[in-house]
Amino acid sequence: MDELRPLWIFLQVARHGSLSSAAQALTLSPAALSKSVSRLEARLEVQLFTRTTRSLQLTDEGRRLFEQLDNSFSDIQTALHGLRLKQGDVSGSVRLSTVTGFGRARVLPILGEFFERYPRVDLVMSLHDGARGLSRHAYDVRINWGEELEQTKVGHRLCKMDLVLVGCPSYLARRGSPRRPRDLEEHDCISVGLANNQRARWQFSKRNGSAKQETVVPHGRLIVVDELVSVVDAALSGLGLTVVARDLVAAHLASGALVQLLASYAIEGVDVDQTVLILQHPKRRLMSPATQALVDFLIEKLKQSS
């Protein structure tokens, strides 16, 4: 395990972006971390970081090493954790916060298996969305759209979500269907609000690999500030077109209550990243056994299914 320590230190320095932040998290001195990184670079005969007075930036070689090691260390930790803990002995309460669509479609269906494994663990689950960043109620584990991590948290990328443009048949019968992104300028669009009620923009690119991108600022009289579920409800009511994660509207698309539009385009949010989902949790040395059990279970199941 001693041979793995320099690689673990490299991972922490890369995640934090500075020696001082990584040193604080690992309760080591910046000098010790710097020496460890330098020895690793000498051993590998490659420069892993470019150094400035204020920060460290990964080189191309460093980035490749980080990407290869990140998931591997997560798998090792999960395996060791499974050996250390007897599932029936894990008890306690865990607070889980997750975005609504993903929580309904991916998390709720697997919780039965979690409770079978850990019958003495209670779960307090919050499903919500927010236009100004998801609600920051107290939580132990959080599944959120891609964002900067809080300083005391560790993050794992779970999956990339597919965004779709949708509308209901009654609206399309009245207003017609857009053929290209710029046609949305002639439509009522239901948008998630940002700070000061600014509209979140949508970026379209052809799925055939074309590099051309079109950015659309949605028009329309309705801005939904707090809940993506309300955006879907508004679209179902015929108030306009909207862009949401496919998971959030899969049942409505299957039933015909909503129709997917501009399917030949990939869509991304310009101001709010609604495509990448991150699982956040405290650093492992700060986690309770119950929280650790939930984190390992979610990573195992959700990365597997994405």
Q: What is the DSSP letter of 108?
A: G
Residues 26/33, Cβ–Cβ less than 8 Å: yes
Burial 238-256 (b: 16+ CB within 10 A, else e): bbbbbbbbebbbeebeeee
pLDDT of the residue at 15? 82
Check: CB of residue 73 under 8 Å from CB of residue 11: yes
Give the pairing type, strands 259-261 and 163-167.
antiparallel
Alpha-carbon distances, residue 85 vs 90, 286, 288 (angstroms): 7, 16, 12
CB 16 within 8 A of CB 155: no
Using CA atoms, how far apart are residues 50 and 294, in angstroms rounded to an integer? 37
Farthest CA pair distance, the chain: 68
User: What is the tens place of the pLDDT at every residue in 86-122?
Assistant: 656 788 899 999 888 788 888 999 999 999 999 999 9
* Structural domains in the chain plus CATH codes: 3-83 (1.10.10.10), 92-161+275-302 (3.40.190.10), 163-270 (3.40.190.290)
pLDDT at 133: 42
Judged by DSSP in three states, 185 sits in helix
For the chain, give percent helix, strand, coil, nearest 5.
Answer: 45, 25, 30
- Contacts of 29 by beta carbon, 8 Å cutoff, 6+ apart: 23
> HEC states along 126-142?
EECCCCCCCCCCCCCEE
Burial of 288 (0-12, 13-18, 19+ CB in 10 A): middle
Contact predicate 33/22, CB 8 Å: yes
pLDDT at 303 (0 to 100): 77
Which residues does the chain have with pLDDT short of 70? 1-3, 53-55, 71, 74-75, 77-88, 129-138, 146-153, 193-198, 209-211, 222-226, 270-275, 284-286, 304-306
Dihedral over alpha carbons 162, 165, 170, 171 (to 10 degrees):
160
The pLDDT assigned to 21 comes to 79
